[in-house]
Amino acid sequence: MTRILFRGRAVLLGLGLCGLAGCVRPAPPVVSHPHYTIGDGYQSGGVWYYPREDFGYDRTGLASVYGDDAPPQTADGEAYDARAMAAASPVLQLPAIVQVTNLQTGRQLMLRVNDRGPETPGRILEVTPRAARLLGIPADGAAEVRVTVQKEASEALADSVGGGIKIAAAPVGGFQSASLAPPPGVAQASGATVQQADRANLPVANQAVPPLRLPEQLTAVAPSPGALYVRSGSFGRSYDAFRQAARLSGLPNAHVVIFSDGARTLYGVQTGPYLSVPQADQALSSSLAAGAVDATIIVQ
């Protein structure tokens, strides 16, 4: 009887402690299964984004920092880690390796882009809290950055997780080597033979695949902050760009700009300069309200 009462009290005590603690069981660990992804166009915060594979990506803009509400898993299937050298992009292929330069501090880091974001319009990148501290980006603000895709590393990474265009090679002979007789009229010298090797079996130098967790390698260059502008439109005809400039005429210095995406000449509309992030954000909101659904903030 004493033993039963003792166990009963122990159970009641355990239930009481469980009630005080809330009986919250820890969530199971998230398993990383990185996979290559691009995805369809989508809208976030009133802005349309069109992800695509771009190994020549090199842009300036504003970067923000992941908050406490970050999801447990990234868009390409990796476990989110607030201390990882990682970032989110609204348009880049996932995963990709980028060099991120804080133009205001000159600090540079290599980051693995493995997620979609940020949700705040006018931002081109969202970095983990650890990367933000190293780069000097305020946790509750934004910083002027340059984001440059590292082509070779990103291509190797894409290949390792099933991305990129796959082209089957033509079949080659299976022999390793063969002794060939000398051409007619050529004397054979002391038993020498002409060797033909199967080139498919020669060693090939492969680009090293970046690790899942990049090391913290902080470098520094001279700071080069600039003014903020709002750019919208990627028109193939200048006529369309001038029509949009007319719709944005209430913003300061709305004018048509010419740029290239690597293969085509395009026309856009740019307003500014703006001397602070709040000013640029307000101009961005006005541009979106006027129908510039792809407006973003750039640094020049």
User: Quick one: CA torsion of 53, 58, 60, 66, rounded to 10 degrees?
Assistant: 50
Whether residue 92 contacts residue 113, with contact meaning beta carbons closer than 8 Å, is answered with yes
> Which region holds residue 58: left if phi is over 0, alpha if psi is between -120 and 50, else beta?
beta
Residue 31 has what pLDDT? 72
CA 63 to CA 299: how far, in whole Å?
11
CA 18 to CA 162: how far, in whole Å?
46
* Domain CATH code at residue 262: 3.30.70.1070
In a domain, 19, yes or no: no
Q: What is the pLDDT of residues 45-68, one digit of tens each?
A: 888 899 999 999 999 999 999 999
User: Same domain, yes or no, for 148 and 230?
Assistant: no
The residue to which tokens 């290239």 are assigned: 260
User: Same domain, yes or no, for 216 and 115?
Assistant: yes
User: Same domain, yes or no, for 283 and 220?
Assistant: no
Alpha-carbon Rg for the chain in angstroms: 28
User: Same domain, yes or no, for 141 and 234?
Assistant: no
Contacts of residue 36, Cβ cutoff 8 Å, sequence gap at least 6: 76, 93, 94, 95, 158, 161, 162, 163, 164
User: Same domain, yes or no, for 219 and 233?
Assistant: no
User: Same domain, yes or no, for 71 and 217?
Assistant: yes
Whether residue 106 contacts residue 148, with contact meaning beta carbons closer than 8 Å, is answered with no
Percent of the chain, pLDDT > 90? 66
User: Same domain, yes or no, for 99 and 212?
Assistant: yes
User: Same domain, yes or no, for 211 and 272?
Assistant: no
* Domain CATH code at residue 58: 2.40.40.10
Number of separate domains in the chain: 2
Q: What is the pLDDT of residues 248-272, one digit of tens each?
A: 999 999 999 998 877 789 999 999 9
pTM of the model: 0.76
The beta-strand segments (E) located in the chain are 42-44, 47-49, 58-65, 86-88, 96-102, 107-115, 123-127, 143-149, 179-180, 194-195, 219-220, 228-235, 255-260, 265-274, 296-299
Residue 33 has what pLDDT? 86
**Cross-strand bridge partners of residue 267:** 235, 258
Q: What is the pLDDT of residues 68-99, one digit of tens each?
A: 999 999 999 999 999 999 999 999 999 999 99
Whether residue 93 contacts residue 29, with contact meaning beta carbons closer than 8 Å, is answered with no
Contacts of residue 172, Cβ cutoff 8 Å, sequence gap at least 6: 198, 199, 200
- CA of 5: how far to CAs of 9, 10, 16, 19, in Å? 6, 8, 16, 21
In a domain, 116, yes or no: yes
User: Same domain, yes or no, for 145 and 253?
Assistant: no
In a domain, 89, yes or no: yes
Q: What is the pLDDT of residues 210-256, one digit of tens each?
A: 998 999 999 999 999 999 999 999 899 999 999 999 999 999 999 99
User: Same domain, yes or no, for 253 and 144?
Assistant: no
Q: How confident is the model at residue 206 (pLDDT cuts 50, 70, 90)?
A: low
Q: Which of 194, 224, 254 is the last residue of a domain?
A: 224
In a domain, 84, yes or no: yes
User: Same domain, yes or no, for 259 and 212?
Assistant: no
Contacts of residue 253, Cβ cutoff 8 Å, sequence gap at least 6: 270, 271, 272, 273
**Dihedrals φ, ψ of 290, to 5°?**
-85, 0
In a domain, 51, yes or no: yes
User: Same domain, yes or no, for 65 and 76?
Assistant: yes
Tell me the residue range of the domain where 130 lies: 31-161+207-224
Residue 247 has what pLDDT? 93
